[in-house]
Structure formats: C-alpha cells, structure tokens
Amino acid sequence: MDKKPLLKVQDLKTYFHTDDGLVKAVDGVSFEVYPGETLGIVGESGCGKSVTSLSVMRLLDEKGEIAGGSITFNGEDVLAIPEEKMMKIRGNDMAMIFQEPMTALNPVFTIGYQIIEAILLHQKVSSEEARAMAIDMLRKVGIPEPEKRVDEYPHELSGGMRQRAMIAMSLSCNPKILFADEPTTALDVTIQAQILELMLSLQKEYGMSIVMITHDLGVIAELAERVAVMYAGRIVEYADVVTLFKKPKHPYTWGLMNAIPKIDDEKEILYNIKGVVPDPLSFPEGCRFNTRCPLAKDKCFTDVPPLEEFEKDHFVACFRINELEEMIKSEREGELSAK
Amino acid sequence: MQNNTLLKVNNLVKYFPVKAGVFRKTIAQVKAVDDVSFEVKKGETVGLVGESGCGKTTAGMSILRLYEPTAGQIILDGKDTSYYFLSRRKAKKFLKKQYTEKFEKMKQKYSSEDQVIKNLNDEFNKQAAKDYFENPHKFIEKMMDMRIKGRSEFRRKAQMIFQDPYSSLNPRHRVKTIVGEGAKINELVENKDELKAMIEDILKKVGLSVDHMSRFPHEFSGGQRQRIGIARALILKPELIVCDEAVSALDVSIQAQILNLLNSLQKEFNLTFLFIAHDLAVVKHISDRVAVMYLGKIVEYTTKDQLFEKPLHPYTVALMSAIPNPDPENKSHRIILEGDVPSPINPPSGCPFHPRCPIAKDVCSKEVPQFKEIEEGHKVACLFPGKLKR
Amino acid sequence: MAQKISDFRKLSKKFLRNGTAILGIALLSFFIVIAIFAPFIAGENGDNPYQIPRVSWSSKPIAPTAEHPFGVIGGRDIFYGVIWGTRTAFQLGLIIASCAAVIGILIGSVSAYFGGWVDEVLMRIVDIFMSIPFLVAAIILTTILGKGLDKVMMALIVFGWMSTARLIRGNILQAREEQYVLAAKALGQKNFIIIVKHIIPNTIFPVVVQMSMRIGSYVITAAGLSFLGIGAEPGYADWGTILSYSRNWMTMLDQSWFAIVFPGTAMVLFVLAWNLVGDALRDIFDPRLRN
C-alpha cells in the first residue's frame, strides 16, 4: 500500500498506575489505518485492544498514562494537541461506538437531543437544520419512523435500535475514523447481522476508516481488511485478513483459530491453548505468550520477539515461526489419536 | 419402558405474571415458555438454541424446578416429577388434573379403558393409564408417597451449570465448601475425610488441583470458576446436566477448554446434557440434537446433521446465515431479518415468527402452525417448511 | 490457611495506605481511651459518676482555669462533662444503632422472605414511620415517655430502624436473584439454610457499614433533643446537656464560648470518627476490592 496512512500509531505504550502496581496494558503497539479501510483488532479480554483505542482518542482515565510512542492522525501529532482542540477532533474527526450503548447514551435526554447536541457542537448550523440532520441520520441507520423516534429516550429503544442510534450519533459529524469497540457483542445474532450490514453500507457511503475491536473472529473475517492480533498488550501478528486466516504464523493466532467451533466444520476436539492469560501485573519476561506456547524455549523466555515482516505485509512476532508447521502436525496427530 | 429416554418434557408452560398497582394485580403475563415438548435420550446432548428472551433459560430453570412451571409434565428417568416440589395440596390438585380427570374424560369419550391407553401418545402416560385403571386410588396414593423422597432423588439426578462464572459462586465460601455442599446436603458421605477425598477427586476430574480447595472464588479466572461450577454439579454424580450458556461468558481460548472438558466428562460419566446457548456454532459443536426456540416455542427440533444440512424453519435458516463466518474468503450470504423479537407479553397472532419472516403469507398471521414431524425425526412448526433457502 | 493470611495482609496493607481510614481509627481509639479512663482523667463524682459535679452555685459561666480547664457553666464543670460525656455518647450510639439494626434486619428480612402481602404491609408501615418528621416524632415521644436519656434512646430506636429494614430487604431481594442461590437450590439445599448460609452473609455487611455511619448521627440527634431540653436530665454528663446550658448565654458568646466549643468539638470529631470508620469498613467488606 502506497497510500498515506490516516492514523499511524508507533510503539504506543499505555500504562495504568493501579493500587496493586503498574499495569502495562499496552506495551509497544504499532499499526496504521489507511483512509476508507477497516482494521480489525482482535484479542481476548485484557489483551489491551480497548485501551489502544482509548489511548488514540486520548480518553484514558486518570490512572492511565501514555508512557511512550507516537500517534499521528491526519498528519498531526495527537499527543501534542492541546485538550481543547482534542475535544473538537473527538466527535468531529474521530468517533467511537461502544459495546453497551445504554451506558454511552445519556438516559435523561432524548436520542434526538443528544444527536443534535453533537451536531451543534461541531458544525455551524441552526438547531432546526440540526434536527433535520438528526432525523436524516436516524433514517440512514435504519431506524423506522425517525420523526417519531427522534423524541424518544434511550430506554424506549431495543438494544439493536440503541446501537443504531449510537452509530447515528457518532456518524452525525462525518468522522474520518470510527472506533467500534465490540459494537455487536451484546446483541443477538440476527441483530448483529443487521448492525454489521449497516456499518458496511455506511462505510461505503461515507468512506470513513473503521477500527473494529472485537474478540469475535467471525466478525473480523466479515468486516476487516487487515487484522492485528493482540495478546497481553502487544501485537503478535499483523496481516491482511485472508493471509491471517489462511496462513496464520503465530502459534497464538493459530491456536485461536482452531479453538473456535465453526458452523461448517466438524471437529470432535477443539484446540486447547493451555493455561490462562497471564496476570497483567506480572507479565512474563520475553515473549508474553511463553507461558502457554508449546513451542517456547530458550530465547522465548528472555528476549522480546520483535514484530517482523515475515512475508510482504505479513508481520509476526515470534522466534519460532519455522517450527509452527511441526506443532500443527503434532497437534493434528494428537487429535487423531484422541479419537 | 422407554429405557432410552432420560428426560421427557410435555407441554411445558411458564408464564411470569406482570403485577402493578397497590394490590399487586396481575395485569399481563410474560409468556416465557409456551407449550414446549421434547425429549432427551440417555447419554446424548440436546442443544437448546435461540436469541435472548426466547425462553431457553426459563425452560431450563423450569425443568430443574428453580422456577415452578405454570403447567406441563416433566418426566425424568421414567418418573413424573412435575408435582415433587409443589405443596401437598397443590400436588394433589396437579395429580387430579393430570391423571384422574384426564383419564376419566377420555374413558367417557372412548368408552373403554383399552381404547384410552391406545389413544395416549406417549409411553409414559400409557403405562400411567394402565396403572390408574387397575386401581385409581392406589395409583394416586403411590404417586403422593413418592413426592418427598423424589425431591432429593431428583436433585441428585439433575444438576445445572450456570452462565455467569462470577455470580454463580458464593464469594464468601471457599472452593471446598462450594463443591462439597451438594454431597453434604444429599448425604453422599459419612464423614469429613470421605467428603475431602470426594472433593479432591472431583477437582482433579475437572482439571483443578487439590491446593485450590481452600481458596475463594475471586482468586480464580473465569474459566477456572466455571470448572468449580462444573465440579459442584458433578459431585452428585448426576445423570442430566442442564448447561445454561455455560461457555458464553468465557474468552475464546477458555471456551474451547471448557467445551473439551464437558465432552470428556460426558464420555467418562455417561452424562446427558441439555445445552442451552445462543451461539449456534457452539451448539453444533457439542450437540447430538438441536431444538431451536423462538418466542417461547420450539420451532424446529431434529438431529444436528439434519438441522445444519437441511434446516426447514425460516427462522433457523436466517439464524444460521446471520452467524459471521470466520473465513474471509467465504463470507456468508446473509438473510437479514427485519426488526426485533416481539415482546413475549403480547406475542403476534398465528405463527410467532411471521412479522419477521421473509416468506410469510397472509395465512401465517392467522393460523398457528402445528409442531409436527415432517420427516423422520425432524419436527418443525411452520406452514411452509423448507421454502426459505440460504 | 496461608491464603487467608495473605488475604488479610493485602487488606490491611490497602487499609493502612488509606489515610482517612487511619485518621478514623485513630480518632475512634482516642475516644475509646477517654471513655475507658474517664475516672482517671476527670475524677469520679461519688455516688453517681454520670452526674456532673456542681462546682459553683452561680449560673454564670466561668472561663477556663487550671482547675476547670474547659470552664464552668450553670455551675457545672465542663471538662468533667465532656470526658464522661464520651461514655454517654458511646452508650447512646451503640445501643441505639444496634437495637435499630436488629429491628430493621428482622422486619426487612421477614418482608423480603415472605413477600406478597406481608411485604406490602410491612413496607407501608415503614413508609408511615418514615413520613413522620423524625425530630417531631422524637419530641412527641419523649414528651409522652418523660425526660431522661433512656427515653431518648427509646424514641430514637422507634424511629430509627426503617432505613435498615429497607436496605436489608433490598439486599436480600437482590441476593435471591444471584445464581449461587439458584445453584444451592438446585443442589437441594433447604430454604432456611440457603438464607443462613448464602443470603445473610452477603447482605449483612452493608448494614454494619450503615450502622457505624449512623452512630455519629444518633449522638447528634440525642444532643439536639437535650439542647431543646427534652433529653437528658439537667446535670447529666452528656455533650448535649452542656450545650443546653449555653442556651441562655447565646447573646454573650464572649463569655460562654467554651460551653459550645469543647462539647461541640467532641461531637464533631466523634461523628467524623464513625463516618471514616464506616467508609473504611465498606472498603473492607466489598469483595470486589479483594480481586
């Protein structure tokens, strides 16, 4: 890709000072988002995927601190922007939608009021125009009878409708980039399908970039063009979606892909990534996956594997890429013998 | 007599009253489970799948009598357990209605006892009618005698694994107390040493170590907590385990661990699972047969292979197509359902799915489709089964 | 066992790092010490130590001197009154809070357990009690029952149990929905045991926290009643009683400030101590903080 990235995050480090000690929630994460594309960030809970997006939006709470790295958005150094200007950028150029729209929408105001408020804050229009824009936006996100719904309160809408309203609000100012943090996790499958479809069509219409943060590999495969897999605060693999799903090179990515039951594939035993995610207060030395990795030895316990280009545009952070084939083979044999 | 069937649910109904006003008057009914029937064979796993609010969890809870069902028959291991947890008066009333009145009415209709027996459709009730006509009084008396004793037997045989690995364990109890509680209540052990040995044994079976015994739940991760929940159910050596969204709160890699554990435990203890979940892929992975629920009713029930190869109900088809497929080169062609699930307080007339159904016709809003066998072992409640293609 | 110790250590570490908690504990310990050693600090008045000795027959306030470090008002030694008043404050606070808590827990749990019309009736009674302005009710009750600290306590108990009842009822209703209660039911546990083993331990702690928070406020209210002259008998070693002596000298604060400042300070610190301890207890009992 020769295009200039819209967002470039380099060696981002976000630390939290908790009562129990320092949590290195994000520790050296680098990625780019190009205009109009969808980047998926996938990982299990606690891997730092949400913190990454909050860091880029500069929405960390007082315990969190960006301890290093750089964030360049639209040619500007995000970390150097004064807070007042940042408030303008948020909502205008960067927008975010959350897993539970109920917590992100204010329960005492109508959804219309909240969208209008956002429009008035960032655009020079009259309140009548803003209201018309809000109704238009609600119609675009597929809310039936938007003229009526605009005056309803968040609790009067169903979960799916609320998420639509949230999307309408975040897109009302035509942002360049949309961070979607598990936007469909709390929804039913049929409603999730509606929302994903909506996001795709809106992206086509508005041409914004989407950073899709989720634990669901299915959602990633449907929506993302490029994917970063995160584990324990670091990106372990970074590639375009087809390469990642067809030829995963990091043992964690491979394990994840084979741990999920699939609808079109029969398997008696799911691949077992043994153990649990390490405690964020005391991540292991070296590769952070080393406590669960069947390939880990020597260097894995002492040195941090760098995220290196394995093939063109396919980055992997693993010392033992070459042994992965053997691991897969022995796992397959293990499965066969278990049967 | 029906050696193969472990659990048989006949016409299960659970309504929750909606109360309002000073006098707590019932103003409406939430029809959470509305006439559900199915059976589970020994050693198999039946998946109960549906979206939130479809009544799958309520069905599971009602079967285990954590909610008292509004109506219906729950037969476990060849015994009608429906009245076990009712008060004496209510149990008598239940038996009178379920057996005495029903059989007497049928007797008048068919005019002979043999005809009644012939016309009953399930094995259990046939046998019951036989026993009843032999000596009606003794039949009821015998059933009533079983009530109290039946309770603890039922609890031992049927257990549950809960969804939330956080709220399902008492935060103030240690693992040994949590796991040992069932063994103590049901007097499976005679002394403390035996109990300890039993807990140790079961902890090892679910993949925890003996030094975890004295810890509190908050010291464990979600997956480990779910293992503790499994151990708590398993210590009673149950035959049926109802798994209510047992893996949906867990991370992907942990979910796989728990699913594999359930699989291997099933083989080791010959367990029967009723696996309640919203994730069709998980249900497909673990189940032998699958029941799809929508708005309090089962709309399709068949073997896993049949269901996934040839789904007949349009809701099942849409549900399958809605699942994001983790394969970027093979993006699923989606059938997007319009709108939301209607409220179970006021379900639509006719077929409950018709407002969202892509192939609904006028008749669908008037006629309630019968839940009937369309092919061998494939039951569907739809007027136009198999008409919606992927 | 080792686990328990480390748990305790983690908690105490957290607790000690919390400055306000330490301040609360220190203040409370200070008051406890004073209450225990009252006879040694301020001496003991012969046959009835709770009666402040009369040191002068004039009602005029006497400014602090070496002999009467907090001064004298109404002929009574304020220092003696403040020191022995600490004992009174503890008695008042602890007795009222624990009695109100017991009644509240009883009524709240009966209400939650039986539900239906029992719940409805009990909660309406709670509403009725709550709708009567507390101070008015206490004044009427003490006028009916007569003067004296025991009567004040009774009045405060009668009108002090409602919030506990509501709290415990709400907590039980919430705990009843917890999955571990369902799990115990699924194991075949008896209802009564479920309440004792699963519900009560998970609902009682907020009540304890609330109790400690309210001890201070009870003492203030009792002092208020004494100040109005419907509390303790004149001359009783009670902070409110000393304050009530200053009533007549309100316009001459330059001559009577010590009758307000010393018992007043004691009261403020006493309330503060219990509030801080209550806060700290809440942190300790919250299981989420142990994660």
- What does pLDDT average to over chain C? 84
State the nearest Cα–Cα gap between C257 and chain B, in angstroms. 52
Helix C149-158 and helix C200-227, axial crossing angle in degrees, nearest 10: 130
Q: Is residue C290 pLDDT above 70, yes or no?
A: no
Residue A249 lies in a domain: yes
A91 with A121: CB under 8 angstroms?
yes
Residue B184 at interface with chain C, using a CB cutoff of 8 Å: no
Q: Is residue C291 pLDDT above 50, yes or no?
A: no
DSSP codes joined into one string, C194-207 = IIIIIIHHHHHHHH
| A240 → chain B, closest CA residue | B328
Determine the Cα angle at C170 with ends C166 and C171, to 5°: 120
With pLDDT > 70 as the criterion, what percentage of chain A qualifies?
A: 98
State the nearest Cα–Cα gap between A183 and chain B, in angstroms. 14
Q: What is the mean pLDDT of residues C220-244?
A: 84
A160 with A101: CB under 8 angstroms?
no
What element of type H or E holds A169?
helix A159-171
Query: Chain B neighbours among A 122-141 (CB < 8 Å)?
Result: none
Of A246, A263, A277, the CB nearest to B320: A263
Contact at CB, B172 and C188, closer than 8 angstroms: no
| Least confident piece of the model among A172-186, A232-246, B347-361, C127-141 | C127-141
Contact at CB, B326 and A217, closer than 8 angstroms: yes
Helix C162-176 and helix C78-114, axial crossing angle in degrees, nearest 10: 40
Contact at CB, C290 and B169, closer than 8 angstroms: no
Tell me the chain B residues in contact with residue A193 when contact means C-beta distances shorter than 8 Å: 321-322, 324, 334, 336-337
Q: Is residue C3 pLDDT above 60, yes or no?
A: no
Whole-angstrom Cα distance, residue C8 to residue B382? 61
Determine the Cα angle at C148 with ends C145 and C150, to 5°: 80
pLDDT in tens, A39-54: 999 998 889 999 999 9
| B337 → chain A, closest CA residue | A190
Query: Chain B neighbours among C 84-123 (CB < 8 Å)?
Result: 116-117, 120
Residue A166 lies in a domain: no
Residue C5 at interface with chain B, using a CB cutoff of 8 Å: no
Greater confidence (C172 vs C232) lies with C172
CATH number of residue A67's parent domain: 3.40.50.300
Tell me the chain C residues in contact with residue B182 when contact means C-beta distances shorter than 8 Å: 187-188
Q: What is the mean pLDDT of residues A312-339?
A: 83
Whole-angstrom Cα distance, residue A141 to residue A202? 8
Q: Is residue A1 pLDDT above 60, yes or no?
A: no
CA A255 centroid distance within chain: 20
- pLDDT value of position B22: 67
Q: What is the mean pLDDT of residues A201-208?
A: 91
pLDDT in tens, A210-247: 999 999 999 999 999 999 999 999 999 999 999 999 99
Residue A157 at interface with chain B, using a CB cutoff of 8 Å: no
Residue C1 at interface with chain B, using a CB cutoff of 8 Å: yes
Give per-residue burial for A190-210: e unless 16+ CB within 10 Å, then b. bbbbbbbebbeebbeeeebbb
Residue of C1, C6, C7, C182 to mutate for B, most B C-beta atoms under 10 A: C182
Cα A153 to Cα A111, A162, B157, distances in angstroms: 6, 10, 47
Q: Is residue A336 pLDDT above 70, yes or no?
A: no
- pLDDT value of position A2: 56
Splitting chain B (390 residues) into consecutive groups of 10 residues, what average pLDDT does each group show?
79 89 79 93 95 91 93 92 92 91 88 84 86 90 90 93 90 91 89 93 92 88 92 94 92 91 94 94 93 95 93 93 84 79 88 92 92 91 88
| Domain positions in chain B | 162-286
Residue A239 lies in a domain: yes
Work out the pLDDT band at A187, boundaries 50, 70, 90.
confident
Residue B152 at interface with chain C, using a CB cutoff of 8 Å: yes
With pLDDT > 90 as the criterion, what percentage of chain A qualifies?
A: 46
State the nearest Cα–Cα gap between B277 and chain C, in angstroms. 17
User: Domain range holding A296?
Assistant: 1-85+207-339
The chains in contact with chain B, meaning 3 or more Cβ pairs closer than 8 Å, are A, C
Q: What is the mean pLDDT of residues C262-276?
A: 92
Residue of B247, B262, B285 to mutate for A, most A C-beta atoms under 10 A: B285
Q: How many domains does chain A have?
A: 1
State the nearest Cα–Cα gap between C209 and chain B, in angstroms. 17
- What does pLDDT average to over chain A? 89
| Domain positions in chain C | 24-290
Of C3, C116, C201, the CB nearest to B172: C201
Residue B26 at interface with chain C, using a CB cutoff of 8 Å: no
Q: What is the mean pLDDT of residues A91-98?
A: 88
Residues 6+ apart with CB under 8 A from A207: A35, A36
Of C4, C189, C291, the CB nearest to B218: C291
Tell me the chain B residues in contact with residue A49 when contact means C-beta distances shorter than 8 Å: none
Residue A197 at interface with chain B, using a CB cutoff of 8 Å: yes
Tell me the chain B residues in contact with residue C183 when contact means C-beta distances shorter than 8 Å: 160, 162, 168-169, 229, 232
Contact at CB, B328 and A221, closer than 8 angstroms: yes
Residue A31 lies in a domain: yes
pLDDT in tens, B23-39: 678 888 899 999 999 99
Residue A64 lies in a domain: yes
Task: Kindly list the strands in the beta sheet with B5-20, ordered across the sheet, starting from the edge strand earlier in the chain.
Answer: B25-41, B5-20, B71-76, B79-80
- pLDDT value of position C286: 65
The CATH number that domain C24-290 falls under is 1.10.3720.10
- pLDDT value of position A3: 74
| A184 → chain B, closest CA residue | B324
Q: Is residue A338 pLDDT above 80, yes or no?
A: no
Tell me the chain B residues in contact with residue A192 when contact means C-beta distances shorter than 8 Å: 322, 324
| Least confident piece of the model among A168-182, A299-313, B188-202, C40-54 | C40-54
Greater confidence (C248 vs A166) lies with A166
* H-assigned helices in A172-304: 189-206, 217-223, 241-246, 251-259
Residue A160 at interface with chain B, using a CB cutoff of 8 Å: yes
Outline where DSSP puts E strands in chain B: 5-20, 25-41, 45-49, 71-76, 79-80, 158-161, 240-244, 272-277, 289-294, 297-303, 372-375, 378-380
B47 with B60: CB under 8 angstroms?
no
- pLDDT value of position C7: 60
B284 with B304: CB under 8 angstroms?
yes
List the helix and strand counts (H, then E) for chain C.
13, 2
| A292 → chain B, closest CA residue | B253
Residue A96 lies in a domain: no
State the nearest Cα–Cα gap between B71 and chain A, in angstroms. 29
Tell me the chain B residues in contact with residue A277 when contact means C-beta distances shorter than 8 Å: 221, 251
Contact at CB, A261 and B282, closer than 8 angstroms: yes
Contact at CB, A188 and B280, closer than 8 angstroms: no
- What does pLDDT average to over chain B? 90
pLDDT in tens, A107-145: 888 999 999 988 888 888 899 999 999 999 898 888 888
Q: What is the mean pLDDT of residues C265-290?
A: 81
Greater confidence (C251 vs A204) lies with A204
- pLDDT value of position B1: 40
State the nearest Cα–Cα gap between B333 and chain C, in angstroms. 39
* Chain pair B-C, CB pairs under 8 angstroms: 74
| A246 → chain B, closest CA residue | B327
Greater confidence (C141 vs B238) lies with B238
Of C3, C4, C179, the CB nearest to B168: C179
Tell me the chain B residues in contact with residue C123 when contact means C-beta distances shorter than 8 Å: none
Whole-angstrom Cα distance, residue A129 to residue A116? 9
Tell me the chain B residues in contact with residue A45 when contact means C-beta distances shorter than 8 Å: 251
Tell me the chain A residues in contact with residue B209 when contact means C-beta distances shorter than 8 Å: none
- pLDDT value of position C287: 54
DSSP codes joined into one string, A81-103 = S-HHHHHHHHHHTEEEE-S-HHH
Cα B345 to Cα A191, A315, B28, B29, B32, distances in angstroms: 20, 53, 7, 6, 8
- pLDDT value of position B2: 45
Tell me the chain C residues in contact with residue B61 when contact means C-beta distances shorter than 8 Å: 182
Tell me the chain C residues in contact with residue B229 when contact means C-beta distances shorter than 8 Å: 183
What element of type H or E holds C116?
helix C116-131
CATH architecture of B162-286: 3-Layer(aba) Sandwich (3.40)
Residue A67 at interface with chain B, using a CB cutoff of 8 Å: no
Tell me the chain B residues in contact with residue C182 when contact means C-beta distances shorter than 8 Å: 61, 66, 160, 162, 168
Contact at CB, C287 and B171, closer than 8 angstroms: yes
Contact at CB, A189 and B280, closer than 8 angstroms: yes
Of B221, B326, B328, the CB nearest to A260: B326
pLDDT in tens, B145-167: 999 889 999 999 999 999 888 88
| B257 → chain A, closest CA residue | A272
Residue of B24, B58, B81, B170 to mutate for C, most C C-beta atoms under 10 A: B170
pLDDT in tens, C145-183: 887 888 888 888 888 899 899 999 998 888 888 889 989
Say if strands A226-231 and A209-214 run parallel, antiparallel, or are unpaired.
unpaired
| A160 → chain B, closest CA residue | B340
Q: What is the mean pLDDT of residues C188-217?
A: 86
